[in-house]
Structure 1
Amino acid sequence: MRLVVKWVSIVKFRGVREGVLSNLAGINILVGRNGSGKTTVLEAVHLALTLTDSFEFLVKRRGWFGLASIDTLFYRCSREARIIVELADRTRQELSLRVERRGETARMVRLEARGRRTGVSDILVYRDGRVVASKLGVAHNSFLVDWNIASSLGASESIYAEMLVHGGFSAKEFLLDMLRSKTGSVRSVEPIRVNNEWILHLVYTDHAIPYYVAGDGIRYALACLMTLVAHRDSVLLLEEPELHLHPGLMKLIAHAIIASYRRRGNQVFVSTHSVELVDMLVREAARNNLGDNEFRIYWLALEDGRLSYTSYGLSNASEALEEMKHWLYN
């Protein structure tokens, strides 16, 4: 399945009062100024597809600062939000979130889903960050990768395990071939048991080092790469994958994004501020002869909570790049 999400509608979620992003492609690049709604779009798609499975992650991924973290899920002082995604088979997954109870010690949020997954979950969130919720399952496989995942103990080990479960040895070989092409010295990536903990290690010819003490760039690149090669027919959402990367690793990420779509049938969303990464993605997409319905750039804008956008296909991607350069250098 090449195209999973066709459009997404957002109402009163995070900083978006209302907005629709339509005509989504196999690869979707979200660009725009800070506060233009890029991250909100990623989170909205992820939550609509994974329901309660991602609720706690999305609440805490920007940092836990008490029950106010729950309130920031809703536009300004709203008590209810709604997200709708239309899928490739023309079915819709609808999601509503509503604050049922406010208090000093806990919040009760009711999550109602209709579509591939239908059900209701009352989510109780305590001031200390504990979350109690009944599971609703997932409407479609969706995976969001950000810097927090790359730096959290256990997260990268889980991605590594998923890569082997879903992709087998061929997925790992593809990962290693890409790493060796840009780093040269990394021979393998393996979990090694240290003090009763399985820790992912980068293995060199004569030594190995824990993933967590490697450079910031290689850590985030590895988390993104493993996600891109681990899954099939899924929705993969990458937030600013260019963080901490030198040009060689950035080019590697661009190559892996296109390959993840073409070889593994994944739909990929990327939020970025990097002109260099967008340019690399455009060049890589052109080399692979992708069409405008397969590769699109969305320049997002947010005014008084209303989300709008300008869409560019591969055939006029140069206009998006010029817009980004104008914004960056003026």
Structure 2
Amino acid sequence: MITSFRIENFRGIKKLELNNLGQINVIAGKNNAGKSSIIEAFSIGIAGVNSENDPLQEVLTKVLTWRGWFGKNSVTSLFYQDYLATKIKFVENNTPFSVEIRKQGNIVDILGGELKIDDDTIRRIGLGKFIILPGIVKAGPLKKTYSVLVNVGFPKEGDLLTVFSTSDDMYLVEMPVRFLTPFDIISPGFIERAHSWAFKEKGTERAFSIIKKGYPEFQNLSPLPENITPVMYVDIKWTKKAIPYYVMGDGFKALTAMALVVSSLKNGYLLIDSAEAFHHPKSLRVMSKTLVRGAKENNVQVFLTTHSLELIDMLIKYGLESKVEGRVIYMKRENGNVKASIETFEESQELRETLGLDLRG
């Protein structure tokens, strides 16, 4: 479990340190307080030292596109000050880890003969697009880099903007991570992948039971071949034919995605941005119980952002009932600086009951 986390020079965060983290960590605060930035920094940090299926490329792509892709500015916006390196440091089970994001200017300086990209590949990328080039992972001390090329027509100075790497004295470790955003709920192909994750872990039966608690009419979920690519279909009571997942309501899709992801993850990390998105009260209650139960039974540490006071209250209630160590992290911005205070679930419940304090900041 990650017990402390430090961020420097990332997005709107100049410097921030979080200590005494819990198994379930609810990040709350007003708009533009830095909540999503923390989730993104966590995802990059964990993926950057991860040996589990090499997830950094997927996480980096999501961080660059989740807020909307707008060329080089999407990459530059990762830095609080773009001439300084971003540093992400955290402690997991008493072991320190660090990841750096360094802006670079010349493609030759970074590739160094280890990474090759030919003119035909560059032309296929096209202007206004980006490609992530994986580096070489060597045994022993970690040598792992990811390069981001944007607006490429030809490899010239300025095309290669960032490199992701970890300290030379750190080692790759197995830290399974899932980073979930509202975009995943509607993104083509995501639910099929989530289903395969759960199937491999023999978690589909559990996921289906979770879905039925929110939607009793649900019966089954299955990817079916359609134009070569599998497409998810939903079997609902009283319907003559299965229904494509992508035409179902957003609330159903949100709970289904959450159920599959939670049922597929063990001994890892679940990161959720805008966790309340698309949920009605009953679905929100099912999701809250699912997160608490999944964290406890599968040894998963959860970090999520939310604007929902109802969700915060539910997670505190179910967390305390299940004796899961939880934290509410209050984010705020003062004079341009991001600050955070951390309260345990017990302390947060007392603030709600005695003072009626709005825990969203």
* TM-score, with length taken from structure 1: 0.86
CA contact (8 A) 1:20 1:307 kept: no
Please identify, of 189-198 and 126-135, the stretch whose mean Cα deviation from structure 2 is larger.
Answer: 126-135
Q: Which residue of 2 aligns with 1:71?
A: 76
**Identity score, percent:** 21
Structure 1 window deviating more from structure 2 (156-165 vs 134-143): it is: 134-143
User: Which residue of 80, 86, 90 maps to 1:81?
Assistant: 86
State the alpha-carbon separation in 1 of the partners of residues 132 and 285 from structure 2. 44
Per the alignment, residue 9 of structure 2 pairs with 12
**Relative to 1, partners in 2 of residues 1:135 and 1:158: Cα closer, same or farther, differing over 3 Å?**
farther
Q: How does 1:246-325 map to 2 (within 5 A)?
A: 246-290=280-324, 294-319=325-350, 321=352, 322-324=356-358
Q: Is the 8 A contact 1:31 1:300 kept in 2?
A: yes
Q: Distance in 2 between matches of 1:187 and 1:75?
A: 48
Q: Report the equivalent of 1:177.
A: 209
Aligned-CA RMSD value: 3.1
- 1:187 equivalent among 210, 219, 223: 219
Counterpart in the other structure of 2:264: 230
> Which string of whole-angstrom CA distances, capped at 9 and with x for unpartnered residues, describes residues 93-118 of structure 1?
111111111799889999999xx972
Query: Alpha-carbon deviations, 1:11-66, whole Å to 9, x = none?
Result: 00011000001111111111011111111111111101112432222112211111
Aligned residue type for 2:22: A
Q: How does 1:139-154 map to 2 (within 5 A)?
A: 140-154=175-189
Task: Tell me how far 1:307 sits from its aligned partner.
Answer: 3.0
Q: What amino acid is aligned across from residue 271 of structure 1 in structure 2?
A: T
Shift of 1:310: 2.0
Q: Deviations over 1:166-202 (max 9, x none)?
A: x21xx21211112212211000111122232211122
- Count of residues in Structure 1 that have an aligned counterpart in Structure 2: 315
Shift of 1:320: 5.3
Matched-pair contact (CA < 8 Å) for 2:104–2:163? no
CA contact (8 A) 2:266 2:299 kept: yes
Would you say the 8 A contact 2:7–2:16 is kept in 1?
Answer: yes
Closer/same/farther in 2, CA of residues 309 and 319 from structure 1, 3 Å limit? farther
Letter matched to residue 5 of structure 1: I
Structure 2 counterpart of 1:26? 23
Q: For residue 57 of structure 1, what is the aligned residue in structure 2?
A: 62
d(CA) in 2 for partners of 1:59, 1:8: 21
Corresponding residue for residue 118 of structure 1? 142
Q: TM-score if structure 2 supplies the norm length?
A: 0.79
Shift of 1:79: 3.7
Q: Which moved more, 1:179-188 or 1:13-22?
A: 179-188
Change (3 A) 1:301 1:320: farther
Instruction: Look up the match of 1:94.
Output: 98
Distance in 2 (alpha carbons) for counterparts of 1:108 and 1:223:
26
List gaps (5 residues or longer) in structure 1.
none
DSSP 3-state at the match of 2:286: helix
Q: Is residue 219 of structure 1 aligned with residue 231 of structure 2?
A: no
> How many Å separate the matches in 1 of 2:261 and 2:337?
32
Task: Report the structure number with the largest CA radius of gyration.
Answer: 2
- Structure 1 range deviating more: 308-317 or 242-251: 308-317
Which whole-Å CA distance do the structure 1 matches of 2:37 and 2:250 have between them? Answer: 25
Unaligned runs of 5+ in 2: 49-55, 108-126, 154-158, 167-171
User: How far, CA to CA, are the matches of 2:197 and 2:227 in structure 1?
Assistant: 23
